[in-house]
């Protein structure tokens, strides 16, 4: 079984087993670094009271990058929730 298949299985278990949202998101960012090529850190941005907030991050560096995006009012995390195609549209 390849690693992507294993991670998909772990994600499916998360949906069934995990009742704690912060714990689930921590596992998601960890899994992302395992299967996304050249990904050495990851984070999840959620809107809290209409403002972006990092709900999970693999390390302090990710938190710093997210904070810089929020302060600037732009960046891939913000683009992802503002546009239908999100950050991927900017990489073409």
Per-residue pLDDT of the chain (92 residues; tens, 9 = 90+): 577 777 777 776 766 665 688 888 898 899 889 888 999 999 999 989 989 999 999 999 999 999 999 999 999 989 988 887 544 544 44
In this prediction, residue 65 carries a pLDDT of 95
Return the residue matching tokens 């294993």: 6
**What's the pTM value of the predicted model, to 2 decimals?**
0.70
């Amino acid at each position: 079984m390849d690693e992507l298949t294993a991670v998909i299985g772990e994600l499916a278990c998360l949906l069934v087993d995990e009742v704690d949202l912060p714990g689930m998101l921590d596992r998601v960012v960890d899994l992302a670094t395992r299967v996304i090529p050249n990904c050495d850190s990851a984070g999840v941005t959620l809107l809290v009271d209409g403002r972006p907030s990092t709900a999970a991050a693999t390390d302090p560096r990710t938190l710093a990058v997210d904070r810089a995006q929020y302060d600037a009012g732009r960046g891939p995390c913000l683009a992802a929730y503002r546009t239908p195609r999100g950050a991927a549209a900017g990489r073409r």
